[in-house]
């Protein structure tokens, strides 16, 4: 056990509880003790009608762009709710922002036509522009109810006709906050991890920037920027914007 790279380290995982298990397991396999502190909960949007309508009309689109596994899960759930399956996307090209999103699509029976080499919105725009002439292309974005504007703005600047629909929304959770606060007070935490801007924002709403002196690790530059803007001391930014990449970045941080 002591030969494992994160042996003796205690790491806070702030993902939604439904998504935390796989990330937590990766950390445990690397030797870490994990405290799961879900700062967000993923729920259906308040109004599902735009998503339902988009699914009914999905074959009228040239591209469907998924920016998270949550978006894929929500889209697939509504697809099944209408008695449809992956064949509904036949003839429509599909883009996934990264490998985790592409894997979620594969579980739904869809192979992504395009996965950018960097897993951020700006890279999606560049990859789509390289794969297709975007002028007058109809692009569907099923994503979080509140999301960054860089992607639709960049696509529209290239002439695409973009339709955004809320596939899900994130709401504050914070289960176990007092227990975590006590452990932070006792300086029992070595690292706090954030896997999205929403986890950062909701942690901040619950605990401010209090980490008990523990540094912060972010899954990528967008999440890191959000954390820094809110006043967190970001010490680790994954080079590969996946949970596996974040675990590796944590290992390298403690080795240094």
CA–CA gap between residue 10 and residue 191 (Å, rounded): 7
Structure pTM? Answer: 0.80
> 117 Cβ partners below 8 Å, 6+ apart?
123, 127
Tell me which residue has tokens 């809320």: 166
Say what the pLDDT of residue 155 is: 95
φ, ψ at 194 (rounded to 5°): -125, 130
Domains detected in the chain: 10-39+173-255 (3.40.50.10090), 49-169 (3.40.50.10090)
Tell me which residue has tokens 């920016």: 67
pLDDT tens track for 208-249: 999 999 999 999 998 999 999 999 999 999 988 889 999 999
Identify the bridge partners of residue 164 per DSSP, sorted by sequence position: 141
Say what the pLDDT of residue 119 is: 64
Say what the pLDDT of residue 228 is: 97
- For the chain, residues with pLDDT lower than 70 are 1-2, 119-120
């Amino acid at each position: 056990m002591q030969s494992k790279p994160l042996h003796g380290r205690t790491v806070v995982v702030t993902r939604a509880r439904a998504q935390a298990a796989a990330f937590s397991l990766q950390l445990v396999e690397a030797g870490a003790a994990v405290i799961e502190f879900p700062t967000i909960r993923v729920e259906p949007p308040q109004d599902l009608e735009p998503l339902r309508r988009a699914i009914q009309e999905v074959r009228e689109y040239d591209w469907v762009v998924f920016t998270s596994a949550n978006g894929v899960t929500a889209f697939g759930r509504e697809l099944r709710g209408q008695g449809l399956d992956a064949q509904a996307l036949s003839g429509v090209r599909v883009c996934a922002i990264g490998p985790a999103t592409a894997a979620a699509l594969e579980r739904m029976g869809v192979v992504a036509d395009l996965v950018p080499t960097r897993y951020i919105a700006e890279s999606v725009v560049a990859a789509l522009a390289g794969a297709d002439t975007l002028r007058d292309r109809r692009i569907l974005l099923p994503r979080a109810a509140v999301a960054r504007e860089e992607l639709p703005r960049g696509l529209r600047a290239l002439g695409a006709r973009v339709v955004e629909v809320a596939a899900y929304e994130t709401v504050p959770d914070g289960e176990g906050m007092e227990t975590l606060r006590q452990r932070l007070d006792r300086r029992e935490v070595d690292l706090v991890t954030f896997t999205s801007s929403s986890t950062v924002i909701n942690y901040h709403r619950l605990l401010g920037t209090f980490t008990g002196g523990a540094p912060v690790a972010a899954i990528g530059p967008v999440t890191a920027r959000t954390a820094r803007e809110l006043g967190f001391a970001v010490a680790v930014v994954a080079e590969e914007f996946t949970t596996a990449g974040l675990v590796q970045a944590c290992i390298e941080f403690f080795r240094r």
